[in-house]
Amino acid sequence: MMRMMRQRLLVGVAAIWLVAGGSVRAQEAHPDDDGEAARADITVIGTRGAGRNTTDSPVPIDVIRGDAIRQAGANGELAQSLATLLPAFNFPRQSNSGVGDTVRAAQLRGLSPDQVLVLVNGKRYHPTATTALDAKIGRGTAPVDFNTLPVGGVARLDVLRDGAGAQYGSDAIAGVVDIGLDRLDHGAAAGITYGGNVTRPDALDRTLHDGRTAVIDLKTGTRLGETGFLTLGGDYGRQQGTNRAGYDRGGQYLSNGSYADPRNDAFLGRRLFKVGDPRVDSGHLWFNAESAGDDGATLYSFGILHLREAAGANFFRWPVIVDGKGDDYVAPGQPGNGFLPQSLVRNGDLSVTAGVRGILGGWKVDGSVTYGGNWIRYRLRDSLNYSLGAASPTAFLLSRTRSDQLVGNLDVSRDYDLGLTSPVTLAAGLEYRHERWRSRPGDAASYAIGPLADPASLGLQPGAQAGPGLTPDDARSLGRDVVAGYAEASADLLPGVLADVAGRIEHYSDAGTAVAGKAAVRWAIAPGLAVRGSVSNSFRAPGLAQLGTSATSLSFGEGGQLRRVSTLPVDSPAARGLGARDLRPERSVNLSGGITTTPVPGLRLSVDVFQILIDDRITLSERFDLSAVTPSRRSALGLATYDAINFFTNAVDLKTRGIDAVADYRRTYGGTTIGLAAAYSYARNTIRRVTAPPAQLAANGIGGGLIGLEETNTLETAAPRDKIILSADAARGAVSGLLRGVRYGSVEHVFDFGGGFTPRQRFGAAWSLDAELSLAVRRGMTVSVGGSNLLDRYPDRSIDDFNGAGNLAYDPLSPIGINGRFLYTCARVTL
């Protein structure tokens, strides 16, 4: 299947290349003077009035050009590129977290990944189908998967760092990211990038060469009529994967209170685990088109198809386990040296939009329909279901999930001259959205409770190791309808005073009705100096995946023993029996204020402070240990085979305070264009309130609160509070170069293994140095060499409480990652 996927993607990319015609240079955005740079900085996000540059906007906005995104995304990941370029954007890596290794969540301003709204060409984009329950950052969320979007297809990207629920709809608590697809109307462009890790992690004390990555991308454009265009593009990438597991120090077999058991000797000094990036094959096919009719109306359409297959690892399983009677057990058919289950994730994604815009009765009218869908198939291989004994297969289908979204939009706007400094822009619109989420069970063997699970037999763990799969009872199908309407007005009330107000009402068929509003003002108090501020409220309904997810996983508990932990839907009888309640929407209030200035030509500065209050934040509860619940009561609740459970809850009110500062300088001196930039972001999350635990927990002998140490850690300290980006670039003639330093702030990881064992570790701040040198070897062809993390920095080594007897040497939670130095070369051709 993977070979077939590669063939289809390569055929599609080749077809795009064959369509390319002409020998003229493609229209890629490469601003090389102050005027072009200023025009590239014009944005229409943040207000529906006339386009403004970022310093003239009443709210903080970042604009990133496509060439900068491609340069920072040498590995083909859009989200990694944004994390390198935007200080408020966080994209942590995962490992040994199932689907979470492949579908990674991104944060804006330290908030939940599902609290940022993503648009493509101004239209709402759809979320992923998985809740990634085994991940740390983004655990239990189903946000947009940024890597379903093509790096090579992005012409520009606008990031609104402010609450915008009243303008663009629910989910926009942290802000809005709008991806603009390329609009080539002639010519073609192609690029190929090859790179890999050349690194020497101190935990291994030897040089590694892995993570080899190759990416090819193509695009071409042609005119449609006088002003229209059709742009086609595609890419294919292959990533080898990485491994930063340490050497085993012999901590599995315990005899008479000592790890000196001779069975440990066979594993000492071996690398048993795999910790790092999965092996990935992926690709995109996309198009963007517009065509003007004779009646003045413009038809437009765009779409993206993405396919991805990934192979990641899970925790190593030793050949000998302890059965329910305390005796040693070796599973039939299991290799004598243990086994390492492998996660296989197939991720498909499709988004298509069609619409028409024009002038009707003096109003600008834009009507469109968008479909977006994501489907994930999750499998295991090299695994076993112990409870089935010799009858157990070694490969399993664990689950299939799918998310679909159909959106219809009608937007109108018009300028009215009311005698103010500028005309008043009035805008209004309606939106209808139908959402659907489905999960399907895995193979029967993946969740089977075999005969050897019976305590009267051996009492072995049921379900596939590194699973188990979804059962038929876990499978769900949920849907809902959303209807919304908004109005917005924007104008310069007085010379130098811009005001924008917006209101929105949104009704969910399952979550009720919410009203959101926003007011933003910018006042130019002197030439080149302005202050700005905004106040708004936003609203986010529970995701369908959060309402329907039901899954079971195996996690480590006290003494390193594997425990079955089940995440239950809040409407399940078992969750209700322990006090779960219907999920409510999250509600937020955003306040921000800042200053912008252009003190000298070419230099732009902005500083913004903000506070975001979120009530009823949806999160996963703490894992509730069932050991104190009597066997009869556990059976009555339907939890006889589980060691612990959790469920989603609105248990937390959160406060986020922070500051964003951006400085950018660009000038041309004697034929050399120089750019200097510095950016800083700080966001601190604080839990304001935690709901008291339901009485049902105590009645069943379960202590503690709804939120414990691990979830508190996830909300407050697992993401870096600050990040600094310093960069310098220069171009003269055929030569250009870039130097960038990124400082990632410290993070903290806390584990609650049960029994009062709650170790924690702080991973200190770390700098990553990136560089690239480019040479235009001939007209239309550029060759580049570069690298990221050139100083080969790693996070602090994991302490003994975390490192699994040396096997888990580095914690992927650190935002600098655990892959070390990455070197690459790239060639691009434009025709």
Under a CB-based contact definition with an 8 Å cutoff, are residues 119 and 172 in contact?
Answer: no
Query: For residue 815, what pLDDT is reported?
Result: 87
Query: For residue 254, what pLDDT is reported?
Result: 54
> What percent of the chain shows pLDDT beyond 90?
68
Query: For residue 606, what pLDDT is reported?
Result: 95
Q: What is the mean pLDDT of residues 697-715?
A: 88
Domain 2-830: CATH superfamily, name plus number: TonB-dependent receptor, beta-barrel domain (2.40.170.20)
Question: Is residue 5's pLDDT more than 50?
Answer: no
Query: For residue 628, what pLDDT is reported?
Result: 80
Query: For residue 376, what pLDDT is reported?
Result: 97
C-alpha 674/C-alpha 736 separation (Å) is: 10
Query: For residue 266, what pLDDT is reported?
Result: 80
C-alpha 12/C-alpha 180 separation (Å) is: 22
Judged by DSSP in three states, 84 sits in: helix
Six token digits for residue 360: 């009707």
Kindly tell me the number of DSSP H helices and DSSP E strands found in the chain.
11, 38
C-alpha 593/C-alpha 607 separation (Å) is: 8
Query: For residue 17, what pLDDT is reported?
Result: 40
pLDDT band at 260 (very low <50, low <70, confident <90, very high): low
Query: Between 249 and 359, whose confidence is greater?
Result: 359
C-alpha 684/C-alpha 720 separation (Å) is: 9
Query: For residue 11, what pLDDT is reported?
Result: 42
Q: What is the mean pLDDT of residues 509-518?
A: 95
Query: For residue 561, what pLDDT is reported?
Result: 55
C-alpha 119/C-alpha 175 separation (Å) is: 11
- Least confident range from 20-34, 176-190, 216-230, 387-401: namely 20-34
Under a CB-based contact definition with an 8 Å cutoff, are residues 499 and 493 in contact?
Answer: yes
Q: pLDDT tens across 413-442, in order?
A: 999 999 888 899 999 999 999 999 999 999
Q: pLDDT tens across 63-114, in order?
A: 999 999 999 988 889 999 999 999 999 998 888 888 888 898 899 999 999 9
Kindly report the average pLDDT of the chain as a whole number: 89
C-alpha 319/C-alpha 270 separation (Å) is: 15
Under a CB-based contact definition with an 8 Å cutoff, are residues 461 and 386 in contact?
Answer: yes
C-alpha 364/C-alpha 50 separation (Å) is: 13
The candidate with the shortest Cα–Cα distance to 174, out of 238, 225, 231, 115, is 115
Under a CB-based contact definition with an 8 Å cutoff, are residues 248 and 265 in contact?
Answer: no
| 296, amino acid identity | G
Query: For residue 38, what pLDDT is reported?
Result: 43
C-alpha 189/C-alpha 246 separation (Å) is: 43
Secondary element (H or E) of residue 741: strand 735-744
Query: For residue 253, what pLDDT is reported?
Result: 64
Query: For residue 555, what pLDDT is reported?
Result: 56
Is the whole-model pTM more than 0.75? yes
Q: DSSP letter at 797?
A: P
Q: What is the mean pLDDT of residues 509-519?
A: 95
Secondary element (H or E) of residue 516: strand 512-526
Q: What is the mean pLDDT of residues 228-248?
A: 96
Query: Between 594 and 266, whose confidence is greater?
Result: 594
Residue 364 burial by Cβ neighbours in a 10 Å radius (0-12, 13-18, 19+)? middle
- Least confident range from 106-110, 175-179, 628-632, 662-666: namely 628-632
pLDDT band at 141 (very low <50, low <70, confident <90, very high): very high
How many other C-beta atoms can be found within 10 angstroms of the C-beta atom of residue 630? 11
Backbone angles phi, psi at 500, to 5 degrees: -140, 130
Q: What is the mean pLDDT of residues 797-803?
A: 92
C-alpha 658/C-alpha 612 separation (Å) is: 9
C-alpha 307/C-alpha 347 separation (Å) is: 6
Query: For residue 756, what pLDDT is reported?
Result: 81
Query: For residue 399, what pLDDT is reported?
Result: 95
Question: Is residue 255's pLDDT more than 60?
Answer: no
Under a CB-based contact definition with an 8 Å cutoff, are residues 50 and 618 in contact?
Answer: no
Six token digits for residue 271: 């690398």
Computed on alpha carbons and rounded to an integer, the radius of gyration of the chain in Å comes to: 27
Query: For residue 256, what pLDDT is reported?
Result: 52
Q: pLDDT tens across 634-691, in order?
A: 888 877 777 888 899 999 999 999 999 999 999 999 899 999 999 999 999 999 999 9
Question: Is residue 12's pLDDT more than 60?
Answer: no
C-alpha 153/C-alpha 161 separation (Å) is: 23
How many other C-beta atoms can be found within 10 angstroms of the C-beta atom of residue 632? 9
C-alpha 169/C-alpha 178 separation (Å) is: 13
The candidate with the shortest Cα–Cα distance to 284, out of 508, 119, 78, is 78
C-alpha 378/C-alpha 287 separation (Å) is: 29
Q: What is the mean pLDDT of residues 299-310?
A: 97
| 213, amino acid identity | T
Query: Between 329 and 399, whose confidence is greater?
Result: 399
CA atoms within 13 A on the CB side of 105: 31
Q: Which residues contact 256 (CB under 8 A, 6 or more apart)?
A: none
- Least confident range from 7-21, 42-56, 517-531: namely 7-21
Question: Is residue 26's pLDDT more than 60?
Answer: no
Distances (CA, A) of 796 to 475, 524, 764, 765, 799: 41, 47, 7, 9, 9
The neighbouring-strand residues paired with 682 are 659, 722
The residue behind tokens 């709210």 is: 59
> What percent of the chain shows pLDDT beyond 70?
92
Segment of 104-108, 335-339, 456-460, 770-774 carrying the highest mean pLDDT: 770-774
Domain ranges of the chain: 2-830
Under a CB-based contact definition with an 8 Å cutoff, are residues 420 and 483 in contact?
Answer: no
Apex 595 CA angle, 591 and 599, nearest 5: 170
- Least confident range from 66-75, 260-269, 573-582: namely 260-269
Question: Is residue 55's pLDDT more than 70?
Answer: yes
How many other C-beta atoms can be found within 10 angstroms of the C-beta atom of residue 212? 14
Question: Is residue 728's pLDDT more than 50?
Answer: yes
Torsion of CA 720, 722, 723, 724, to 10 degrees: -160
